[in-house]
C-alpha cells in the first residue's frame, strides 16, 4: 500500500503535469518553477535535440537542396518519432541495488533496500520488511552519501581487512580530505570518545540496527551514554556514587611531600620556610589542573575560587 507521503507526491505531480500543459512555453517562469520542484518532468537534452531535429526537417523538407542522400525526409521524421515512442515504452532499470541506502526526498530518512524484484510483470523493492513500488520509490528517493549525514547519525564502515568501524558522526573535518569528527568511535572492540579520524568516506554508510546495538553496548561498558537531544556523549553517573569535593581531595595537601621537603638535611619545620621557584611551578601546575577539573564539572565555581585564593595566599603567609 502506497504510504501517505508517496500518495500526496503523486497527486502533486499529476497537478504539475496539467499545469505544465497549459504553459505557452517551457521557458516561461511558471514552467521553470515546475521543473525546479519536479525535475523528473524536465525533458532530457537528448529529447530536446530529437524534437528540434523533427521540427527542423519538417520546416525544410521542401527546400531546393536535398537533406538526405539515402532516405526521404518523411522516413527520417518517422524514425525520430518512433525513437521517442520507444524510449517512453522502455522499462527503466532500477535506480538502487540490494543493500543500498536510499534517502527519502520527503522526510530525509535513510532506509536500506533489502531485496529487489524486477521483471516485466511486477517490480518492487523490499524496505523495512515491506514491498514498495519500484518506480515510485526511485522517483521519491536518492542514493545516500556523506552529504546526507547529520550530527548524531550512527555510521559504519567495514575495511578490506574486515575491521568494523562504527561511529556517532559529528561533522566533516573540511581542512583535511577524508577526515571526520566523531562523538564516539568503536573500532572492533576499542572504544574512544570525541575525536577526529581519517577514513574512506565513500565507504561510510548508515549503521544497521545490529551495528548500532553493538556500539551502544560497548559505549555503556566504557561508562558512557549518548544524549540524542543535546547531541553529546556523557559519563554515566553510578547509582549511589558521589563525587568527592575538591576540598576533600586536597584537605591533606599541606602534609604532602611538597611541604615536607628538606633543606641541608633539616625539615622545613626546623628552619624558616622559604618559597622557591619549584613552588611557583607547582602552584601553576595545580591551578591548571583545578581548572581542568572545573571544566569537567567535577566541582563548583565557589570551590575553584576558594582553592585558587588559598594557593595565592600560601606564598604570602610563608614569606611573612
155-185 pLDDT, tens digit each = 998 887 788 999 999 998 876 677 889 999 9
* pTM (predicted TM-score): 0.49
The DSSP secondary structure of 212-271, one letter per residue, reads: HHHHHHHHHHTTEEEETTTTEEEEPPPTT--PPPHHHHTTTGGGSGGGG-EETTEEGGGS
Total of domains in the chain:
4
What CATH number does the domain containing 223 carry? 2.30.30
Residue 95 belongs to a domain: no
- Say whether both 8 and 75 belong to one domain: yes
Residue 57 belongs to a domain: yes
Which three three-digit cell numbers place residue 259?
611541604
- Say whether both 73 and 52 belong to one domain: yes
pLDDT above 90: residue 154 = yes
- Say whether both 167 and 194 belong to one domain: yes
CA distance linking residue 164 with residue 166, whole number of Å: 7
Q: Give the residue, 118 or 187, on which the prediction is more confident.
A: 187
201-217 pLDDT, tens digit each = 888 999 999 999 999 99
- Say whether both 105 and 137 belong to one domain: yes
Residue 105 belongs to a domain: yes
Mean pLDDT of the region 55-73: 74
- Say whether both 274 and 297 belong to one domain: yes
- Say whether both 76 and 111 belong to one domain: no
Mean pLDDT of the region 255-279: 53
CA distance linking residue 109 with residue 122, whole number of Å: 26
CA distance linking residue 181 with residue 183, whole number of Å: 7
CA distance linking residue 12 with residue 14, whole number of Å: 5
Residue 118 belongs to a domain: yes
Contacts (Cβ under 8 Å, ≥6 apart) of 35:
26, 41, 42
CA distance linking residue 102 with residue 111, whole number of Å: 6
Per the prediction, the chain carries an average pLDDT of 77
- Say whether both 59 and 111 belong to one domain: no
Residue 96 belongs to a domain: no
- Say whether both 120 and 183 belong to one domain: no
- Say whether both 58 and 129 belong to one domain: no
pLDDT above 90: residue 194 = no
Q: Which range, 76-90, 149-163, 244-258, has the best average confidence (pLDDT)? A: 149-163
Residue 240 belongs to a domain: no
113-148 pLDDT, tens digit each = 999 988 766 788 999 988 888 888 998 999 999 989
- Say whether both 75 and 120 belong to one domain: no
Domain interval for residue 280: 246-319
- Say whether both 135 and 176 belong to one domain: no
Pairing of strands 205-206, 154-158: antiparallel
Amino acid at each position: 500500500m502506497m504510504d501517505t507521503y508517496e500518495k500526496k507526491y503523486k497527486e502533486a505531480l499529476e497537478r504539475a503535469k496539467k499545469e505544465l500543459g497549459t504553459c505557452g512555453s517551457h521557458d516561461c517562469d511558471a514552467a521553470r518553477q515546475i521543473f525546479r520542484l519536479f525535475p523528473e518532468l524536465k525533458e532530457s537534452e537528448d529529447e530536446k535535440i530529437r524534437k528540434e531535429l523533427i521540427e527542423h526537417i519538417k520546416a525544410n523538407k521542401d527546400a531546393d537542396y536535398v537533406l538526405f542522400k539515402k532516405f526521404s525526409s518523411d522516413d527520417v521524421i518517422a524514425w525520430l518519432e518512433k525513437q521517442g515512442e520507444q524510449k517512453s515504452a522502455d522499462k527503466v532499470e532500477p535506480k538502487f541495488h540490494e543493500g543500498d541506502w536510499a534517502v527519502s526526498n520527503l522526510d530525509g530518512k535513510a532506509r536500506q533496500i533489502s531485496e529487489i524484484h524486477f521483471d516485466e510483470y511486477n517490480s518492487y523493492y523490499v524496505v523495512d520488511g515491506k514491498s514498495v513500488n519500484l518506480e515510485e520509490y526511485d522517483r521519491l528517493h536518492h542514493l545516500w552519501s556523506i552529504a546526507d549525514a547529520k550530527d548524531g547519525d550512527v555510521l559504519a564502515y567495514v575495511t578490506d581487512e574486515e575491521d568494523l568501524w562504527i561511529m556517532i558522526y559529528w561533522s566533516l573535518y573540511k581542512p583535511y580530505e577524508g577526515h571526520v569528527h566523531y562523538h564516539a568511535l568503536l573500532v572492533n572492540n576499542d572504544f574512544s570518545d570525541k575525536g577526529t579520524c581519517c577514513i574512506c568516506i565513500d565507504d561510510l554508510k548508515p549503521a544497521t540496527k545490529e551495528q548500532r546495538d553493538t556500539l551502544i553496548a560497548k559505549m555503556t561498558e566504557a561508562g558512557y551514554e549518548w544524549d540524542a537531544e543535546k547531541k553529546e556523549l556523557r559519563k554515566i553517573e553510578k547509582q549511589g556514587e558521589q563525587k568527592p569535593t575538591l576540598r576533600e581531595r586536597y584537605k591533606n595537601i599541606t602534609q604532602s611531600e611538597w611541604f615536607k621537603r628538606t633543606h641541608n638535611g633539616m625539615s622545613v619545620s626546623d628552619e624558616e620556610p622559604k618559597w622557591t621557584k619549584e613552588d611557583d611551578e607547582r602552584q601553576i601546575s595545580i591551578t591548571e589542573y583545578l581548572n581542568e577539573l572545573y571544566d569537567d564539572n567535577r566541582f563548583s565555581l565557589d570551590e575553584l575560587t576558594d582553592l585558587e585564593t588559598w594557593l595565592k595566599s600560601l606564598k604570602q603567609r610563608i614569606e611573612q
